């Protein structure tokens, strides 16, 4: 299915460059405010990935941002990039040492005072999330810290977004999802979450983002053939290679999609 830029924008829902805009939108829309009971955030909405993106761009010129946004395993396989142990070390260390964006603490305080339950819902592993929460001194802000590792998959697989519903015990209409990447915003919207695209990089809406989300969403939803996994046997092979390499590095705790 080919979509227009306008259709992608409608799927990505509200777009803005700061997290503080979430409180403004909720404050201005009383109907939405009464509907939403909890807010789930992608990790990059909370933690500034630009230092890690810079390293990814150095290692993979012209593909660094894609590696950072699409998830390391999926992106490396999709773009046919060589992921040596040395490159893996540098990237993973960078993703363990992220700082919070400047507007995060004040916004989270405001949202909690308003009564919203807060959660992280990320493709990061639990170990990576906890490391960055500790580094950014955000302990106690989140009611749930959800890694797609729990479902053995990645966003935008619908099983990943379902983790928010299962943990929060709410309907999808009651959970606002705050996405960093356009494809994640589109994937969450396809799943049924009210969605806010925190477009910190000020990127234009693009059809590629929706098509990526839709392609993965549909393949994860309908494809369960033995040995195929989420994106084919080659993705599974890469995942298994990395899991073997990182088996003794519990702080990395990499996961691979399940069939």
| CA pair distance 76, 238, nearest whole angstrom | 9
What is the arithmetic mean of pLDDT over 6-31? 69
| DSSP code, position 144 | E
pLDDT of 242 over the 50 cut: no
What are the angstrom distances between the C-alpha of 176 and each of 9, 41, 127? 17, 9, 24
Q: Residue 74's pLDDT is what?
A: 55
pLDDT tens digits, one per residue of 165-187: 999 999 999 999 999 988 888 88
| CA pair distance 141, 160, nearest whole angstrom | 21
Q: What are phi and psi of 16, to 5 degrees?
A: -160, 165
- Segment holding 118, helix H or strand E: strand 117-122
pLDDT tier at 206 (50, 70, 90 boundaries)?
A: low
Q: Residue 228's pLDDT is what?
A: 34
pLDDT of 255 over the 80 cut: no
Question: pTM for the whole thing?
Answer: 0.75
DSSP H helical segments within the chain, as ranges?
5-12, 20-28, 30-35, 43-46, 50-59, 64-70, 72-78, 85-95, 104-114, 126-135, 158-168, 182-191, 207-222, 233-245
Residues 171 and 165 sit within 8 Å (Cβ to Cβ): yes
Q: Residue 89's pLDDT is what?
A: 78
3 state SS of 117? strand
Q: Residue 224's pLDDT is what?
A: 34
> Is 89 labeled as catalytic in the residue annotation?
no
Q: What is the CB neighbour count within 10 angstroms for residue 29?
A: 13
pLDDT tens digits, one per residue of 72-131: 555 565 556 666 777 777 888 888 999 999 999 999 999 999 999 999 999 888 999 999
> Of 115, 113, 117, 102, whose CA–CA distance to 45 is shortest?
102
Per annotation, catalytic residue among 42, 48, 70, 157: 42
Cα radius of gyration rounded to whole Å, the chain: 17
Structure tokens at 117: 């339950």
Q: What is the CB neighbour count within 10 angstroms for residue 50?
A: 14
More confident residue, 255 or 205: 205
CATH code of domain 5-245? 3.40.50.1000
Q: Residue 133's pLDDT is what?
A: 97
Structure tokens at 201: 């990089």
Domain boundaries, the chain: 5-245
The overall average pLDDT reported for the chain is: 74
Omega prior to 156 cis, within 30 of 0: yes
Of the chain, the percentage scoring pLDDT greater than 90 comes to: 34
More confident residue, 30 or 161: 161
Q: Residue 31's pLDDT is what?
A: 87
| CA pair distance 238, 254, nearest whole angstrom | 12
pLDDT tens digits, one per residue of 41-64: 999 999 999 998 888 788 777 655
Omega prior to 142 cis, within 30 of 0: no
């Amino acid at each position: 299915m080919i979509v227009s830029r306008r259709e992608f924008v409608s799927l990505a829902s509200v777009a803005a460059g700061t997290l503080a805009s979430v409180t403004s939108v909720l404050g201005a829309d009383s109907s939405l405010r009464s509907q939403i009971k909890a807010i789930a955030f992608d990790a990059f909405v909370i933690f500034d990935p630009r230092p890690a993106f810079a390293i990814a761009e150095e290692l993979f010129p012209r593909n660094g941002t894609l590696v950072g946004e699409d998830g390391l395993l999926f992106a490396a396989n999709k773009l046919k990039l060589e992921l040596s142990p040395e490159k893996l070390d540098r990237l993973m260390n960078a993703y363990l040492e992220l700082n919070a964006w400047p507007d995060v603490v004040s916004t989270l305080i405001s949202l909690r005072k308003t009564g919203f339950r807060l959660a992280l819902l990320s493709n990061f592993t639990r170990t990576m999330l906890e490391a960055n929460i500790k580094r950014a001194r955000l302990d106690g802000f989140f009611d749930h810290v959800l890694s797609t590792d729990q479902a053995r998959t990645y966003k935008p697989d619908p099983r990943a977004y379902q983790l928010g519903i299962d943990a929060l015990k709410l309907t999808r209409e009651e959970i606002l999802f705050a996405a960093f990447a356009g494809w994640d915003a589109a994937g969450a919207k396809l799943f049924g979450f009210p969605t806010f695209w925190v477009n910190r990089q000020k990127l234009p809406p693009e059809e590629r983002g929706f098509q990526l989300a839709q392609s993965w969403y549909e393949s994860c939803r309908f494809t369960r053939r033995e040995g195929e996994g989420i994106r084919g046997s080659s993705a599974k092979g890469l995942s298994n290679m990395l899991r073997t390499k990182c088996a003794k590095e519990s702080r990395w705790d990499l996961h691979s999609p399940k069939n």
